[in-house]
Every structure is written in C-alpha cells, then in structure tokens.
Amino acid sequence: MTALQRFCHQRTSWALLFVSGLALELAALYFQYVLNFDPCVMCIYIRVAVLGIMLSALVGLIMPQYWIVRFLGMGGWLVSSVWGVKLAIELNEMQVNPSPFSTCSFFPEFPNFMPLDKWLPQVFSPTGMCGESVWSFMSISMVQWMIIGFVVYCLLWLVMVLPALTPKR
C-alpha cells in the first residue's frame, strides 16, 4: 500500500479537508461581521458549496476504513467542488462584466425541506449585491480566490480518488 493510499484511509486526510472548509467559512464570517462586507446571494450559495465539502469530509471522517464511506465522502466532495467552481465563475462574470440583464436574486432559493436562510440567517441570509467586488488581494478579487480554491479542491480530489477508493491490502 502506498503512502497516499494509507493517508486516504486515515481520518487525518478527512480532518484536513474539514478544517480547510471550516477555515473558509470562518473567513467568510470574518469578512461579513468584522470587515462589514455584505454577502450577496451567490456568496451564500458559495458558502453552501463549502459547507457541502465540510459535510463530505465528516462522512469520510466517520469510518474512513470502509470503501463505501470513502466513496460517499468523495462523491459529495466532487459535487460540492464542481458546483462551487460553477457558482464562483458565474459570480465573477457578474462582477467583471456587469450588465443590467445579468443580476442575481435578492433572496436565496433554498429547497423547502432545507431553508438555511430561515434556520441560520446570520450565516445564510444575503444582504449585499452580486455586482459589487469589495475586496481583493494581490489584484485578485474574493470570488476569483474562491475559483482558485474550488479548482484546488477539484485537483486534490483527482489526486486522491484512486488511492481513496482502492481497497486496503
């Protein structure tokens, strides 16, 4: 068994994935409540994609020694990462090429069985506009950093998928 396979079969790998998502969520809350940057509805959806990565990491963290648990965790990780890239690219397009015909909603459209904006409005209720780019670092906007982050999550998934789904020998 290779070192990468052993790493994928341990809780440490899943815990690192969870901690990275938690760091992103905490950073979002720091920007919102300390720096007073209001999140738009697309930003909230991006938070949900990061939450999906965190929940997938928790699934893998439960029992990483079982193939089916790792499979479910890897599936959620991939779906959340790809969805996050898609959302971040859409938001970036709205910010880079503003158009009165390309705007986002003022209200999140969560499913009836999971109204996150009602359950936890402090985290999942949008108060900003999608077209505003309020922060940048090294000339890269916040949403562009999120594109980079989600692409890194996708690349890490590609590196980890075969070792994670290979049975222990």
Q: Which residues are catalytic?
A: 40, 43, 47, 104, 130
Q: C-alpha distances in angstroms, 113 versus 23, 53, 110, 118? A: 27, 20, 8, 11
How far is the C-alpha of 72 from the C-alpha of 59, rounded, in Å? 7
Angle at CA of residue 130, ends 126 and 136, nearest 5°: 105
Which pair of structure tokens corresponds to residue 168? 């222990």
Under a CB-based contact definition with an 8 Å cutoff, are residues 52 and 79 in contact?
Answer: yes
